[in-house]
Amino acid sequence: MEGCIVVLLGPPGSGKGTQGKLLQDMFDWPQISTGDILRDMSKSDTPLGSHIREVQASGNLVSDQVLAQVVRERTSKSDCKEGFILDGYPRTIKQAQDLEQLAREKSKAVRVVAVDVEEEVLFNRLTGRRSCTSCREIYNVYLKPPIREGYCDKCGSALMQREDDKPEVIKNRLEAYRKNTSPLWDYFGSDIIVVDGQNPPEQVFEDIVKQLEEVVAGDNH
Ligand SMILES: [Zn+2]
């Protein structure tokens, strides 16, 4: 398939990380998470690194302008030449516009893929998560229960529910996600490729690839 810039949209628990990984493996385009880059950069001894440290220490979000610069630098590396996959970016209209500008410069198309999952299903997926207190293996009481309830299959230690996975927190996270991304849905509108994230991951992936190929074919007419 022709190289492009894939933007993955999906709420927590939608499995979009898994889809990004599968896309990366299939097309050999790197999956780029701005969160990871910022974490790495904040440890570096550069002006940008120290700027990011300062902003984060003050509890603020890194500005759209700095993020655009971060994305620009990362995607100028040779592994992004064919295409790349963005996870967690863009989050605002301004960021979406910056990305489109970058895409024009690179003569690449931006394809937005949204992994859609019903709220109730997300809620169960997320609140069902348990992790091993010792080896960190992840379980899910609904989707991937341990053989012995409450204990890790691998090492036998007790499983726990992280604070992040408690129902109240999940409810807030899902609400925040909806609120934060609705402008992007309006912005990209009918160009968004929507896939049903309630299907098994392999099927979701097939669907993404098929729809991406259809869009590319459509562009060439
Ligand atoms: Zn364990």
**To the nearest 10°, the Cα dihedral for 168, 170, 175, 179?**
140
Residue 16 falls in the annotated catalytic set: yes
- Token digits of residue 109: 């198309």
- Cβ(33)–Cβ(205) under 8 Å? no
Residue 173 among the catalytic residues: yes
**Catalytic site includes residue 148:** no
Q: How far is the CA of 157 from the centre of ligand 1 (A)?
A: 5
pLDDT of residue 80: 96
Q: Say if CB 125 and CB 203 are below 8 A apart.
A: no
Q: Identify the CATH assignment for 5-117+181-219 out of 3.40.50.300, 3.40.50.1220, 3.30.70.1560, 3.40.30.10.
A: 3.40.50.300
Which residues in the chain show pLDDT less than 50? none
Tell me: the pLDDT tens digits for 33-62? 888 888 888 898 989 899 999 988 888 888
Exactly one of 162, 166, 178, 210 is catalytic; name it.
Answer: 162
Q: Which of 16, 106, 111, 130 is catalytic?
A: 16
Distance spanning both ends of the chain, measured CA to CA: 16
Query: 77 an active-site residue?
Result: no
| Domain locations in the chain as residue ranges | 5-117+181-219
Task: Return the pLDDT at 220.
Answer: 62
* Helix (H/G/I), strand (E/B), else coil: 111: strand
Catalytic residue among 74, 111, 129, 130: 129
Q: Could you give the C-alpha distances from 66 to 40, 48, 161, 183, in angstroms and in order?
A: 15, 8, 35, 21
- Per-residue confidence (pLDDT) for residue 221, from 0 to 100: 56
Catalytic one of 21, 53, 72, 91: 91
For residue 140, which of 157, 156, 123 has the smallest C-alpha distance? Answer: 123
The CA distance from 31 to 53, in Å, is 24
154 is catalytic: no
Q: Give the pLDDT score at 180.
A: 87
Q: Report the C-alpha dihedral over residues 141, 142, 146, 149, rounded to 10 degrees.
A: 50
Residue 115 near residue 193 (C-beta atoms within 8 A): no
Across 26-158, where does the E strand assignment appear? Answer: 31-33, 84-87, 110-116, 129-132, 138-140
Q: 165 C-alpha vs ligand 1 centroid, how far in Å?
A: 18
Residue 94 C-alpha to ligand 1 middle, in angstroms?
43
